[in-house]
């Protein structure tokens, strides 16, 4: 209809939003995407997933050389840290990828509406003082750092994940508040580059939500790497004076307080949906108790023509989950059938070794019925052995009656890559026997998945 400016307006150009916009345009819909950042890609590409991986990779290479690991392989080198160059290669990676999305927008004729979008009605939004009307509006505004009450983030001494990527020098002591994915990844970067790292976690184990056995093993590995872990501990205050921080902590159950002196403090206790400033009420929308926008199976909200995806809706706050939802919502808008199987969303922690999981934890699986579990240690895997990567294991959880795989959990140097096989197997409804009888190339890390699957129904060969 001529009185509509667009068929689809997507609010937000993160992994969910930009993918939704491109897919909608591919399907012949006149599409625009509203984004207030100077570059596309959202948190993930600008200050999250991508730049953190650039720093993780560079710091791993530095650590291999500086710690003497390479010398044990017969590679002797004198190592010097050039942090400015390390930051530079991170920024270059981000610049190249954000520019790539801008190119894809132009290629697919997606119009970029530069500015913050706010609803003025059920089918209209205002961006940078101009009103736009669309048949469909997709909310893909992502999430932002959850603040810690009473703790002010200045991005210099007390930093969020964004500031932790930009530290101009290696802190003598970094205190990480929160033992989740982001805290452990960024803590790992600075630990490898020479910082003392203390992780303070309110719960009794790291990595909330992951399989219990994985959480315990991860804690052992991080301790072995030199991280100090203060579990079952809460932070009661952070004060900054003279470029240093004093962190006050006490047992989560109550008890005597103690203080930690730090050069930098990373606040990483989680993320919350971005809905402020959207003026949802003008469109007739509300949020749930967690600040999320509830959607149906097709990602439709309670208001016809308004859809929502990614971190702003219930489910894991993961870029790849948002991407899949972006494709699905665009296809649903176009009259096709877009589906996301939320039971098979892999998650990865990019520490060293990596930690990856898909499906149910052993605890959740047992709560639903009888299960069989197979495990295989990476120290018995030939490729891990030759690479001097003995830490970790693969764990396969299957239904005791049907043998259908319910969950796979991996700690290994390349767990993030390995988990794709498990996710695909589960998407096809595989049994542990299906995986066990699939020929895996030798020598590869992935043979550990085969062996763990063999351990479910019989016995693995190599232990």
Residue 339 included in any domain: no
Q: Do 140 and 13 fall within a single domain?
A: yes
What pLDDT does 376 receive?
Answer: 98
- We report the CATH number of the domain holding residue 327 as 3.50.50.60
Within the chain, which residues score under 50 in pLDDT?
Answer: 1
Domains of the chain: total: 3
Q: For residue 122, which of 303, 330, 356 has the smallest C-alpha distance? A: 303
User: Residue 312, annotated ligand binder?
Assistant: no
Residue 152 included in any domain: no
In angstroms, rounded to a whole number, what is the distance separating the alpha carbons of residues 116 and 162? Answer: 20
pTM: 0.97
What pLDDT does 117 receive?
Answer: 98
To the query of whether residue 442 is one of the catalytic residues in this protein, the response is yes
Domain boundary among 269, 287, 304: 269
Query: In this structure, what token pair is assigned to residue 293?
Result: 């926008």
Q: Given the residues 297, 342, 388, 442, select the one marked as catalytic.
A: 442
Residue 1 included in any domain: no
Residue 38 included in any domain: yes
Query: In this structure, what token pair is assigned to residue 300?
Result: 């439709």
The pLDDT tens digits of the residues spanning 319-377 come to 999 999 999 999 999 999 999 999 999 999 999 999 999 999 999 999 999 999 999 99
What pLDDT does 1 receive?
Answer: 45
User: Residue 430, annotated ligand binder?
Assistant: no
Residue 341 included in any domain: no
Cα-trace Rg, the chain = 23
What pLDDT does 2 receive?
Answer: 59
Residue 172 included in any domain: yes
The pLDDT tens digits of the residues spanning 67-86 come to 999 999 999 999 999 999 99
Print the domain residue range for 180: 158-269
What pLDDT does 313 receive?
Answer: 98
Residue 92 included in any domain: yes
C-alpha neighbours within 13 Å on the C-beta side of residue 434: 15
Is the separation of the CB atoms in 404 and 398 below 8 Å?
Answer: yes
Domain boundary among 227, 252, 269: 269
Residue 342 included in any domain: no
Q: Do 81 and 49 fall within a single domain?
A: yes
User: Residue 181, annotated ligand binder?
Assistant: yes
Q: Do 314 and 410 fall within a single domain?
A: no
User: Residue 185, annotated ligand binder?
Assistant: yes
User: Residue 53, annotated ligand binder?
Assistant: yes
Q: Do 313 and 354 fall within a single domain?
A: no
- We report the CATH number of the domain holding residue 390 as 3.30.390.30
């Amino acid at each position: 209809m001529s009185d509509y400016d667009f068929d689809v307006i997507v609010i937000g150009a993160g992994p969910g939003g930009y993918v939704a916009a491109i897919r909608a345009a591919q399907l012949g819909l006149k599409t625009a995407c509203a984004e207030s950042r100077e570059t596309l890609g959202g948190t993930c590409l600008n200050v999250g997933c991508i730049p953190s991986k650039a720093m993780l990779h560079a710091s791993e290479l530095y650590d291999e050389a500086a710690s003497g690991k390479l010398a044990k392989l017969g590679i002797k080198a004198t190592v010097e840290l050039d942090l400015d160059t390390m930051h530079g290669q991170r920024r270059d990676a981000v610049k190249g990828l954000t520019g790539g999305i801008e190119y894809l927008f132009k290629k697919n004729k997606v119009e970029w509406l530069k500015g913050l979008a706010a609803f003025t009605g059920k089918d209209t939004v205002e961006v940078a003082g101009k009103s736009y009307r669309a048949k469909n509006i997709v909310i893909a505004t992502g999430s932002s750092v959850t603040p810690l009450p009473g703790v002010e983030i200045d991005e210099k001494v007390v930093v969020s994940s964004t500031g932790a990527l930009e530290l101009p020098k290696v802190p003598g002591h970094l205190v990480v508040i929160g033992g989740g994915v982001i805290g452990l990844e960024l803590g790992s970067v600075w630990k490898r580059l020479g910082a003392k790292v203390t992780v303070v976690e309110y719960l009794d184990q790291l990595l909330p939500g992951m399989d219990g056995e994985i959480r315990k093993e991860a804690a052992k590995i991080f301790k072995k790497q030199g991280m100090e872990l203060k579990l079952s501990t809460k932070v009661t205050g952070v004060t900054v004076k003279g470029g240093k921080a004093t962190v006050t902590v006490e047992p989560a159950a109550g008890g005597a307080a103690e203080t930690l002196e730090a050069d930098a403090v990373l606040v990483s206790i989680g993320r919350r949906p971005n809905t402020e400033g959207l003026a949802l009420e003008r469109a007739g929308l509300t949020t749930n108790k967690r600040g999320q926008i509830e959607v149906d199976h097709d990602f439709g909200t309670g208001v016809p023509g308004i859809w929502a995806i990614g971190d702003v809706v219930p489910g894991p706050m993961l870029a790849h989950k948002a991407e899949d939802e972006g494709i699905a919502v665009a296809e649903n808008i176009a009259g096709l059938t877009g589906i996301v199987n939320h039971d098979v969303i892999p998650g990865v922690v990019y520490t060293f070794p990596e930690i990856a999981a898909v499906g149910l934890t052993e605890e959740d699986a047992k709560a639903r019925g009888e299960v069989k579990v197979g495990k295989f240690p990476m120290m018995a895997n030939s490729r891990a052995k030759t690479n001097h990567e003995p830490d970790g294991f693969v764990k396969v959880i299957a239904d005791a009656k049907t043998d259908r795989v319910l969950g796979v959990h991996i700690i290994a140097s390349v767990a993030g890559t390995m988990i794709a096989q498990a996710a695909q197997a589960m998407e096809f409804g595989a049994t542990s026997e299906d995986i066990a009888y699939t020929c895996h190339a030798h020598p590869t890390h992935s043979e550990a998945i085969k062996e763990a699957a063999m351990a479910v129904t019989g016995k693995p060969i190599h232990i």
